[in-house]
Structure 1
Amino acid sequence: MGALYIDADACPVKAEAERVASRHRIRMYVVSNGGLRPSANPLVETVIVPEGPDVADMWIADRCKAGDVVVTADIPLAAKCVAAGARVIRHNGEAFTEANIGQQLAMRDLMADLRAANPLGTAGGGKDFTKSDRSRFLNALEREIRAAARSQQGS
């Protein structure tokens, strides 16, 4: 099995991901530009990258490969990771795949254009992260880690 990469800035499921990584005994990288308390778990490495736009994303994209799992809500990062062969999920368990990443990027760009065109700036915030989102994430992470391990065994 490869590694588990967490795009940790504003990630609500770091603790859950750590429990799953520990159960499967896989290396987990928690990547951010600071402000995180390091884990005492020897399988978890906290990676603090320099300040700057997308530095944490670039760190993950440069390292992930087939057999790895990435957790992120960042669609451009997800696209790079999918292209590298990694399995990628959002914090709510939704998967980014070769089949849907193009549409996800297009929707992201459309929404950015709509927000930019809104002269009042009254676009609402994101929806709340719920218990069912957390449960979906745990199920999806378990599924993706097992699938990544199977793909490594078949290589």
Structure 2
Amino acid sequence: MQIWVDADACPKVIKDILFRAAERTGLSLSLVANQPLKVPPAPNIRSLVVPAGFDVADNEIVRRAEPGDLVITADLPLAAEVIEKGARALNPRGELYSPDTIRQKLTMRDFMDTLRSSGIQTGGPATLSQADRQAFANALDRLLARQG
């Protein structure tokens, strides 16, 4: 299993959890972003820099992800695409998307986009809390335990 991270918007605390997990398990961890990122000096952890542009990092992750891989992203269209390829998608709040839940999330996202385009203020996501961080770490540990 390879772990891919949609790293441009991934919180630092989540990256740190992923670095520790990769160092502990030896799994390959790749952070994909449109700017250089500092990663620990480990042979199984790397940063992949892609050109700047709309969805360039997402498209690179979709191109490289394989069945059984894990993608860390809060981007719902990216999650849907990698799930369709047989990979798994986990958001930074610890929610593992499934084919059913991703369809529901995309429908809600489209609905909220429609509301925003009509001038209704919908607000953004809440700040990542300590409970979210713990939920992510727990979900990641469960996924990695199934690999072992």
Equivalent residue for 1:141?
140
Q: Hey, what's the Cα distance between the residues in 1 that align with 2:80 and 2:53?
A: 20
**Counterpart of 1:69?**
70
Deviation (angstroms), 1:35: 4.7
What secondary structure sits across from 2:138 in the alignment? helix
Alignment partner, residue 3 of structure 1? 2
Whether the 8 Å contact between 2:35 and 2:50 is mirrored in structure 1 is yes
Give the ranges of 4+ consecutive aligned residues of structure 1 lying more than 4 Å apart after TM superposition.
none
The structure with higher relative contact order (CA 8 Å, sep 6+) is: 1
Residue in 2 that maps onto 1:33: 34
Deviation at 1:140, TM superposition (A): 0.6
SS at match of 1:99: helix
State whether residues 30 and 48 of structure 2, in contact with CA within 8 Å, keep that contact through their aligned partners in structure 1: yes
Identity between Structure 1 and Structure 2 (%): 38
Secondary structure of 2:122's aligned partner: coil
1:51 aligns with 2:24: no
Whether the 8 Å CA contact 1:4–1:27 is kept in 2: the answer is yes
CA drift at 1:101: 1.3
Change (3 A) 1:101 1:123: closer
| Amino acid across the alignment from 1:95 | L
Distance 1:58 1:39 in 2: 25
Tell me how far apart the structure 2 counterparts of residues 123 and 100 of structure 1 sit (CA, whole Å): 21
Give the TM-score taking structure 2 as reference length.
Answer: 0.92
Unaligned runs of 5+ in 1: 151-155
**Alignment partner of 2:4: what SS?**
strand
State the distance in 1 between where 2:9 and 2:80 align: 19
**CA contact under 8 A between 1:87 and 1:144: conserved in structure 2?**
no
Report the Cα distance in structure 1 between the residues aligned to 2:22 and 2:102, rounded to whole angstroms: 25
Q: 1:107 to 1:116 in 2, by over 3 A?
A: same
Q: Write the distance in 2 (CA, Å) between the matches of 1:24 and 1:133.
A: 22
TM-score by length of 1: 0.88
Q: How many residues align?
A: 146
